[in-house]
Amino acid sequence: MPDIKPDTMTETGRAPGVTSAPRGADHANARPGVAKAPRQRRHRGHTGEALLALAMTTPAVVLLLVFFVVPVALMFGLAFTNARLISPRPAEFTGTENFTMLFGDSLFWASLRNTAYFAVVVVPVQAGLALVLAMLVNAKVRGRNFFRTVYFIPVVTSMVVVSLLWRFIYEPDGLLNQLISTVSFGAWEGTDWLNNPSTAMPAIMIMSIWQAVGFHMVIWLAGLQTIPGDLYEAAALDGASGWRLFRNVTWPSLLQTRTFVLITITIAAFSLFTQISVMTQGGPLDSTTTVVFMAVRTGYEQHATGYAAAVSLVFFVIVLTISLVQRFLTRERA
């Protein structure tokens, strides 16, 4: 298919008689041109084609404008106002007041700290475990499809359901503590996992990894299956085996997959909300409050849209910076 240069397209597009021709007539004109190069036919339909193409993209573009571009722009705008969710008075410009307040807000720093804590633990652990699972089910063994399916089941289970289920598991007299005392013959006792400031966040981390690790297993698996078998054979002929095979063949071949896995887990980790909302409401002692949870609290429950927009803007900048840095770092190594 020859590429058509835009300038030639405009020229023919301006030709009188073609531009105004209705689509039906255009087809009729196209018929005698069959013998000519396809390029010719394309030229004739240019203006009609452009208008039609524009019409076909319009629904998607309009929806993206209304539900993506406008709210993102609003986030930047509202962050510098005292806008409230429901208020008779119009929002007033307040300059950087929201940010001054935000950086002096200890809840904001706690949220940021907890979110970072969650991400720093969950990103490498979940990515690593997912890779281990992928390699376990990638081996040619009996029932590997069955294992893969079961490992994936939590992924299709909603995070709300998973959070409620694990609330029961973490109850003082719940499944986990019963298991601990049964296994240790009563020697050990668990704690009230979600009501203890030092265990609440780790408990949520474990559950989150349990729920999502199957997702990234599948992605690693897709990456593993793109590695050609002769690469392994060649390396094996050179005497590589086990760990060295992994380090010199598998790992470098997974560069693209790695970037994708890291970025998606990081963004998901920073967006931590559902688990907190269902399991702890940010407690105990603000030990599990997160940036998104705080934004929802202030912007929705307390109606302080302007302040929540400021929180969102900081969150936006952080997420964007991290994914750009990750993209840059993984690209550098290539």
Instruction: Identify which of 283, 305, 231, 223 has the alpha carbon closest to the alpha carbon of residue 259.
Output: 223
CA distance 34 to 272: 58
The residues in 242-281 that bind other proteins, with binding defined as CB under 8 A, are 242, 245, 257, 260-261, 264, 267, 270-271, 273-274, 277-278
Nearer to other proteins, 198 or 235 (CB): 235
Nearer to other proteins, 121 or 159 (CB): 159
Nearer to other proteins, 4 or 120 (CB): 4
Nearest 5°: phi and psi at 93? -70, 125
Using the rule CB under 8 A, give the single segment among 93-101, 114-122, 189-197, 211-219 that binds other proteins: 211-219
Number of amino acids touching other proteins (CB under 8 A) = 111
The residues in 92-111 that bind other proteins, with binding defined as CB under 8 A, are none
Nearest 5°: phi and psi at 188? -105, 150
Nearer to other proteins, 121 or 278 (CB): 278
Nearer to other proteins, 61 or 329 (CB): 61
43 neighbors 8 (Cβ within 8 angstroms): yes
Nearer to other proteins, 109 or 300 (CB): 300
C-alpha dihedral over 305, 306, 310, 313, to 10 degrees? 70
We find the least distance from the C-beta atom of residue 98 to other proteins, in angstroms, to be: 13
Nearest 5°: phi and psi at 210? -55, -40
Q: Half-sphere exposure of 20 toward its Cβ, with a 13 Å CA cutoff?
A: 2
We find the least distance from the C-beta atom of residue 201 to other proteins, in angstroms, to be: 19
Using the rule CB under 8 A, give the single segment among 80-88, 98-106, 116-124, 187-195 that binds other proteins: 80-88
C-alpha dihedral over 41, 45, 47, 51, to 10 degrees? -130
We find the least distance from the C-beta atom of residue 223 to other proteins, in angstroms, to be: 7
In order of 130, 187, 212, 258, 284, the CA distances from 170 in angstroms are: 24, 19, 19, 33, 14
CA distance 222 to 254: 10
Q: Does 309 bind other proteins (CB under 8 A)?
A: yes
Q: Which of 15, 25, 50, 101 binds other proteins (CB under 8 A)?
A: 50
Q: Does 63 bind other proteins (CB under 8 A)?
A: yes
We find the least distance from the C-beta atom of residue 286 to other proteins, in angstroms, to be: 19
The residues in 143-182 that bind other proteins, with binding defined as CB under 8 A, are 147-162, 164-166, 168-169, 173-175, 178, 182
Question: Cis bond leading into 284, ω under 30°?
Answer: yes
Angle made by CA atoms 315, 159, 132, in degrees to the nearest 5: 90
